[in-house]
């Protein structure tokens, strides 16, 4: 089963029309090496690759 992942970063090679992320897997990390995040602002997608 494929999970729908939304992304609006159009210059990522995994971005498709409709803000769809088509990467096989997604890697999200906490900023500054943290393993916990209090909000979305404290996270970053490491799957991003520029087109």
Tens-of-pLDDT digits for all 51 residues of the chain? Answer: 678 999 999 999 999 999 999 999 999 999 999 999 999 999 999 999 999
Domain extents in the chain = 1-51
Q: What is the pLDDT of residue 3?
A: 86
The 8 Å CB, 24+ separation contacts for 14-21 are 14/47, 14/48, 14/49, 15/51, 21/47
Coil, helix or strand at residue 24: coil
pTM over 0.85, yes/no: no
């Amino acid at each position: 089963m494929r999970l729908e992942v939304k992304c609006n970063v159009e210059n990522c090679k995994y971005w498709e029309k409709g803000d769809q992320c088509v990467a096989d897997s997604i890697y999200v990390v906490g900023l500054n090496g943290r393993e916990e995040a209090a909000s979305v602002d404290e996270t970053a997608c490491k799957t991003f690759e520029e087109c």
